[in-house]
Structure 1
């Protein structure tokens, strides 16, 4: 009987090897699966952190925008506050100026009151003299009013204040407030009280008092004021003559002139047209003004400013409407910026047989 061969490797050994390999594979699979789960967990945790960081960044951007808006608003408030501070300072300075002007205005008003009181006292004395003159006609002379100047000055004027019908025309335009253009513009914005107390206008009033004192008792008179339009100083007497010996009419005319406020421009053409309404016409005209007219019968529609040539044209148109054979006596008050006025008025006075004077500052 043959002997059986013995094999080192049998089926059971292969099974063992296979099982061992499978175990290794299983262990590897388990380890790999656990590692993937750990990685997934770590990835999710990191994604959560990233998302949290993104939310924090977004919140930071939002806070940054809010802070920027707050900064812009703060800067705007700072600028506005600085502007308000400057405005408050400016208003404070303006109030100080207004207070100073108010104090000056109060002082001017007190001075005006005192001067008006003196004028009223002078008018009352003149009225008493007129009333006494009516009782003592032998001592009145030929004048209805008296005029007392300063000191013992006497003037040789050559001005003829005579005739049967005497017309006095007084310029009451804005330029009669002062001798310079700058001061005229400044005075136009002041109160009426301050305008009435201007030195140039008070000189005009004194000139009128002097003329009234020279009027002959047997004559008739009329007094017109004018700027852009003329008007009689005694209301309701337009185109009518008044008696010089009527003290009430003369005093009322002068009182109304003292109440007039110089304003607006000058239309000599309209003033001369008013002479035509007087019947009979005057035989002597006395004009108190300070320069050439600034307009014709109406204000210019297109050209708002006038130069020297325009004013000469307005003057020539006015002279063309002046009545013939009536002397024109001119009292020219001083005014800067109108060099053609003296020669123009002097020629007009010479042509009509009248006189021309440009008085000194202390006349009459």
Structure 2
């Protein structure tokens, strides 16, 4: 093998070329590495970018969801308003239909009443001078009919039956008996009693009692038949001799009526207000009555309720009220009493009968 020596001229050139080649290779390697790194993405930056995009996407999703919820809410509100409007329209139509039906029913009732009034106008009405031979259910007014197998007529003869107010009553108390029986209200009371007597059915029996602080039977018999003219005339004659006086004890009148005829089925009461005497008052009302010798409106109402509670349950109460001023609760309470027994309440005009 051939050995080289430093003195060999080719040795320096070769060494130089080797050095240059190594340097060039190193430069190229450096360039390659730098270029690779320049085109290589940092994973941390990429992750942050993706996270930012994800957060932006989530924010947009939330915003879109909120918008969608708002739209759904608006749709629900519009739907509810529409349904409410349709329901309101349906209810309005239903109310209109009911109103029209009620109007039609009322018109039918009015037409029926007009027909009844027209038919009644053609019926003969007995005057005060006619014989009191009952005409059954004919010639009645405002539904007030005289009916029943055993009829009781109660006529209030208290002092208040002479006047329409307290001032008149006090003034009439100073009159003589002959003048008292001629007062306008008492004469109207007599005509009302005659009106009832004239309409008692022929197959019925009637008992008549007047009452104030006491009670008295009118006529010759306890039970009178309309077919017997003499019996009816005796009742009218006794009624003409009654002088109004005293307070109003309805309990006494009812007790006497049922004592005379305990088979009465229908009662017809002629009065002008709430009772002022009787039993069944509360302790407070009794104390007030003892101390002042007068009775308040509240206690008079209490007294009527106590009287009605004692009334037989199977008897019909019919009431004709000729009202006196200053007794505002009388109409309502008497109507309720009559209605509870399936009877009739009548407060007629001053020109009736």
Structure 1 residue 320 corresponds to structure 2 residue 309? yes
Q: How far off its partner does 1:275 sit?
A: 3.5
Matches within 5 A, 1:232-243: 232-235=217-220, 237=221, 240-243=222-225
**Deviation of the 1:353 alpha carbon:** 0.8
Give CA deviations for 1:232-282 in whole Å, capped at 9, x if unaligned.
0125x4xx3222211111111111111111000000111222243144421
User: Is the 2:207–2:257 Cα contact (8 Å) retained in structure 1?
Assistant: no
Alignment of 1:115-194 (within 5 A): 126=131, 143=135, 156-194=141-179
State the distance in 1 between where 2:256 and 2:179 align: 30
- Could you tell me how far 1:179 is from its partner in structure 2? 0.2
| 2:146–2:200 contact (8 Å) kept in structure 1 | yes
What's the TM-score, normalizing by structure 2? 0.58
Contact 2:155 2:209 in 1 (8 A): yes
**Residues 349, 184 of structure 1: CA spacing in aligned structure 2 closer, same or farther, 3 A cutoff?**
same
The 2-side partners of 1:308 and 1:269 are apart by 18
The CA distance in 2 between the partners of 1:277 and 1:165, in whole Å, is 13
Q: Which has the larger radius of gyration?
A: 2
Match of 1:304 among 293, 297, 304: 293
C-alpha deviation, 1:291, in angstroms: 0.2
Q: Deviations over 1:83-137 (max 9, x none)?
A: xxxxxxxxxxxxxxxxxxxxxxxxxxxxxxxxxxxxxx965x638xx7xxxxxxx
Aligned CA-pair RMSD: 2.4
Q: In structure 1, what is the equivalent of residue 337 of structure 2?
A: 348
CA contact (8 A) 1:269 1:317 kept: no
Deviation at 1:332, TM superposition (A): 0.2
Q: CA deviation at 1:204?
A: 0.8
Q: Which one of the candidate residues 201, 213, 231 is aligned to 2:216? A: 231
For 2:267, the equivalent position in structure 1 comes to 285
Q: Write the distance in 2 (CA, Å) between the matches of 1:279 and 1:225.
A: 15
- Counterpart pick for 1:202 among 181, 187, 212: 187
Aligned length: 219
Q: Which runs of 5+ in 1 are unaligned?
A: 1-120, 131-141, 147-153
Q: Is the 2:208–2:257 Cα contact (8 Å) retained in structure 1?
A: no
CA offsets 1:6-62 (integer angstroms, 9 cap, x no match) = xxxxxxxxxxxxxxxxxxxxxxxxxxxxxxxxxxxxxxxxxxxxxxxxxxxxxxxxx
What pairs up with 1:85-96 in 2 under 5 angstroms?
Answer: none
